[in-house]
Amino acid sequence: MPNFEEDDFPSTPGKFKIERSHHLHHGFGRQFSRVFSSTSTMLIWVLFLIALTVSFLSFQTTVHTGRSYGYLSWADRKWEREVRVSAQIQRPHGMSVLVTGAAGFVGSHVALALKKRGDGVVGIDNFNDYYDPSLKQARKAMLKRHGIMVVEGDINDAKKLNKLFDVVVFTHVMHLAAQAGVRYAMENPHSYVHSNIAGLVTLLEVCKSANPQPSIVWASSSSVYGLNDQVPFSESDRTDQPASLYAATKKAGEEITHTYNHIYGLSITGLRFFTVYGPWGRPDMAYFSFTRNILQGKPITVYRGKDRVDLARDFTYIDDIVKGCLGSLDSSGKSTGSGGRKRGPAPYRIFNLGNTSPVTVPNLVGILEKHLKMKAKKHFVDMPGNGDVPFTHANISAAQNEFGYKPTTDLETGLKKFVRWYLSYYGYHGKYVN
């Protein structure tokens, strides 16, 4: 593993450098003032030290970014070669895609689908422990078997992102790294700001400066509709009443990406995913945790809305979402900027990617019971005021018109595939399931 894989990185890079030079100047300054009494000698020494510090820092930067001087170690070269091989395009007019959050649920599926059709893919993921990191490692291993490299790194790490852009000319970025989960935002609000706001801005800064600029497709969320009660949800509906901090950060992402499109000419497509589920899914989501609890004979909590109305979601199967992501990448159009400057207008698009047929949570449980051949111990609880919304329902005509998006998997079929994967992945033969 090369050094920069393990490097600590400052979340505010400028601050790191300032503190460092500040320390050097003051420490040495005090010592020399004792030795030299003459002001002019002192001045010469101070200037000399400043020059020395500046050249030291620029030398450090050069070594770290590897942009020149050939200071790359053997390990760095090997790493670069792996990145290049992973990014190699294997079909005419193919693309080279940086997939952020590639060890995540949607990221791993999209990365694999791109690779399978001959596109070049490099992944990046921070492997955080929001849910079991061993599942992320297993997805990474699965991708590796298909020739896809997933670099360990955070999207707040501009240095690492720049390095990747130095090694590969990415035509597209599929940005799926995020802090997901609606209810967890009350427990750990700052993780949402860190990934969904700060990380997004860092990534956009790198993309806007890249030459050529990539086109960007990224994951927004159905949660931006918040308390909207127009049904089904259309892209032109209100999205200014978020019900959770998660939703607010996704909505902010839509506004932030708009400014980068407007100022720098980045081609941007935001996808509002509707409760995506399927094999290799996220253990924090209801369908996944319900399955685990049912198999272990543990109770599940089923939330109910006002007046005991069942909650409903427009559950969307992963393969349909993958088709939507690929369709978005293929139709994204080019960014127009270069050298950090806009050269003309670039596309800015937002699409719902849902299934168009909401299912209630009790019905979801019923389908799981059928596939698992076990009864759930259901505890009905009034929906706590923790960011949930009563229902979601997508109008998908915009995505349909633009790139032929057409979901084909109903919840019954999709959950059957999920359950089959779950039982096989966790080696479930009637014994303890992790």
Closest CB to ligand UGA among 338 and 360?
Answer: 360
* 152 versus 388: smaller Cβ distance to ligand UGA: 388
Is 303 a binder of ligand UGA (CB under 6 A)?
A: yes
Q: How many CB atoms lie within 10 A of CB 37?
A: 8
Q: Does 180 bind ligand UGA (CB under 6 A)?
A: yes
Span 186-205, contacts to ligand UGA by CB under 6 A: none
Does residue 223 belong to the site contacting ligand UGA (CB under 6 A)?
Answer: yes
From the list 143, 151, 203, 302, which residue makes contact with ligand UGA (rule: CB under 6 A)? Answer: 302
Contacting ligand UGA (CB under 6 A), which of 95, 124, 176, 286? Answer: 286
Catalytic residue among 246, 277, 303, 428: 246
301 binds ligand UGA (CB under 6 A): yes
- Options 90-98, 113-121, 253-261, 301-309: segment touching ligand UGA (CB under 6 A): 301-309
* 311 interacts with ligand UGA by CB under 6 A: yes
Task: Between 162 and 179, name the residue whose CB sits nearer to ligand UGA.
Answer: 179
Output the smallest distance, CB 191 to ligand UGA, in A: 13
Decide if residue 285 touches ligand UGA (CB under 6 A): yes
- Please give the residues from 322 up to 381 whose contact with ligand UGA meets the rule CB under 6 A: 361
69 is catalytic: no
Of 66, 181, 253, 265, the one binding ligand UGA (CB under 6 A) is 181
Q: Which residue number, 122 or 312, has a Cβ lying nearer to ligand UGA?
A: 312
221 is an interface residue for ligand UGA by CB under 6 A: yes
Confirm or reject binding of residue 388 to ligand UGA (CB under 6 A).
yes
Query: Which of 273, 403, 405, 418 is close enough to bind ligand UGA by CB under 6 A?
Result: 273
- Shortest distance, position 290 Cβ to ligand UGA, whole Å: 7
Task: Please report, as ranges, the residues that interact with ligand UGA according to CB under 6 A.
Answer: 180-182, 221-223, 273-275, 285-286, 301-303, 311, 313, 361, 388, 392
Q: Which of the residues are catalytic?
A: 246
